[in-house]
């Protein structure tokens, strides 16, 4: 009886320990906090291109409001295996003018970079 009870307690722990929780879903290339949408900021998925031998990610932020909005953003670069590429890029801030747009971008010299995620927050 004790063995059966111990098995029932240990089984969930073993399952939890065996799952790989470090996997990142790199197919999600745009993450926006709800406050960004509430502030009237919209954008498309970031696009990746090559610029002088470096990978460049770019996106355009649009402001639908009557007033400028300050937005924080950060690009995260990943390789084909979904591993984040070093060095990590620092968060940046930009003000999108009222009824205007701004272009943001990121460059990485790491040639293994194949995916990018843009994270927007206020």
**9 belongs to a structural domain:** no
**86 belongs to a structural domain:** yes
**2 belongs to a structural domain:** no
Whole-structure pTM value: 0.77
**3 belongs to a structural domain:** no
Boundaries of domain holding 96: 25-121
**116 belongs to a structural domain:** yes
CATH classification of the domain holding 46: 2.60.40.3230
Rounded Cα distance between 70 and 105, Å, is 16
Domain count, the chain: 1
CA dist list (Å): 3 to 8, 10, 13: 9, 10, 15
Q: Is residue 63 within 8 Å of 85, Cβ to Cβ?
A: no
Q: Which residues contact 95 (CB under 8 A, 6 or more apart)?
A: 68, 69, 70, 71, 102
Q: Each residue's pLDDT tens digit in the chain (122 positions)?
A: 555 544 555 545 544 544 444 445 657 899 999 999 999 999 999 999 998 889 999 999 999 999 999 999 999 999 999 999 988 889 999 999 999 999 999 999 898 899 999 999 99
């Amino acid at each position: 009886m004790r063995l059966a009870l111990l098995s029932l307690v240990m089984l969930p722990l073993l399952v939890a320990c065996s799952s790989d929780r470090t996997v990142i879903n790199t197919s999600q290339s745009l993450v926006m906090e709800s406050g960004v949408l509430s502030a009237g900021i919209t954008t498309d998925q970031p696009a990746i291109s090559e610029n002088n031998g470096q990978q460049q990610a770019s996106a355009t932020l649009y402001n639908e409001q009557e007033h400028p909005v300050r937005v924080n953003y950060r690009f995260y670069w990943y390789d084909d295996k979904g591993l984040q590429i070093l060095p990590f890029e620092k968060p940046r801030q930009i003000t999108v003018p009222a009824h205007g747009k701004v272009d943001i971008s990121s460059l990485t010299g790491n040639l293994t970079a194949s995916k990018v995620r843009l994270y927007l927050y206020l």
